[in-house]
Amino acid sequence: MIAVIVIVEGAAQLASSQIQVGALVFNRALGVVLGVLTAIVLSVLVTFELEAAGNPFGGGTLDSQQLQIRDAVKGSHIAVPLVSAIGKPIVTIFQLALPVDPQIYFSQNPVS
């Protein structure tokens, strides 16, 4: 990765007089769009996991951290409705990286 960065930066320095200002503006605009999309995807995934962590399967009472997570998720007026509206396709895409059943994953009882 470092070699790629050095090569790209070296090529940019050699061709600095030929780089157009329009390309730089496009690069920044594209970077902002990709950054916003990445933030939305990560927000949906984290909220999905927090919903499961606040409502795990299993017996017994929730510990204080799980109670705080559950109260924060239930009190959310933006994140949870957003995940409910647009979360299905995003969660489906990243299903291989997520726990199979997050409520069981965060439960206090061992799963056999």
DSSP letters for 25-81: HHHHHHHHHHHHHHHHHHHHHHHHHHHHHHS--SSS---HHHHHHHHHHHT-SSHHH
Burial of 76-92, coded b for 16+ CB within 10 Å and e otherwise, reads eeebbeebeeebeebbe
- Kindly tell me if the per-residue pLDDT of 112 is higher than 60: no
Band of residue 25 on the pLDDT scale cut at 50, 70, 90: low
At 45-73, the pLDDT tens digits run 988 888 888 877 765 677 788 888 888 88
DSSP 8-state class, residue 109: S
Evaluate if pTM is beyond 0.75.
Answer: no
Burial of 93-102, coded b for 16+ CB within 10 Å and e otherwise, reads eeeeeeeeeb
- Kindly tell me if the per-residue pLDDT of 88 is higher than 80: yes
Residue-level pLDDT at 102: 77
Alpha-carbon distances, residue 93 vs 34, 39, 43, 44, 107 (angstroms): 17, 16, 14, 12, 24
- Kindly tell me if the per-residue pLDDT of 36 is higher than 90: yes
Average pLDDT (7-30) is 71
Residue-level pLDDT at 105: 77
